[in-house]
Amino acid sequence: MKIIEDIRPDQEFLAFLAQGKFMLQQSRSSGKPFFYPRVAEPRTGKTDLEWIEASGGGTVYATTLVRVRPPNADYGVIIVELDEGPRMLSRVEDVGPAELFIGMRVQAKIVPFEDQHCVVFVPAASENSGKDS
């Protein structure tokens, strides 16, 4: 039996990312995925957790522009509602921050970040417009 100090879901999550896998946890009894990785399901406290592979699809739920001093460029920060249900904070690459909009379809991409990996998003292949002009 593992003691709580040995359970490190955040480290397991990062190890999956290093392998190129975007994984979520879910409770076996509820079947509801959640994010960020934890030792117990939010709200219920159940510990019958398992890892499932995320589809990577999602929709921009909220967005904001972060302004920085030159020479660095401003960038957009988003909350993505994953197709599996959980929401997560991230950023969108391959599109300018002014082009981000709520309801935009995005796809997850795993990229190196400092000494590990992280999940960012890119516009979904079918995303051409959808933004009101």
Q: What pLDDT does 98 receive?
A: 87
* Beta strand segments in the chain, E: 23-27, 33-34, 49-53, 57-66, 75-82, 87-90, 105-113, 116-123
Q: Given a cut of 70, is residue 102 above it in pLDDT?
A: yes
Q: Which residues contact 46 (CB under 8 A, 6 or more apart)?
A: 27, 29, 30, 40
Q: How confident is the model at residue 125 (pLDDT cuts 50, 70, 90)?
A: confident
Q: What pLDDT does 1 receive?
A: 44
The pLDDT mean for the chain works out to 89
| More confidently predicted of 31 and 130 | 31
pLDDT (tens digit per residue) in 6-43: 669 999 999 999 999 999 999 999 899 999 999 999 98
pLDDT over 90 for what percent of the chain?
Answer: 77
Q: How confident is the model at residue 132 (pLDDT cuts 50, 70, 90)?
A: very low
Are 30 and 40 contacting, i.e. CB atoms less than 8 angstroms apart? no
**In the CATH scheme, what architecture does the domain 57-123 have?**
Beta Barrel (2.40)
CA dist list (Å): 99 to 40, 54, 65, 70, 75: 37, 25, 10, 20, 11
Identify how many contiguous H helices and E strands the chain contains and give both numbers.
Answer: 1, 8
Instruction: Name the DSSP letter for residue 74.
Output: P
User: Where does the chain hold its CATH 2.40.50 domain(s)?
Assistant: 57-123
- Structure tokens that stand for 27 in this block: 């409770």
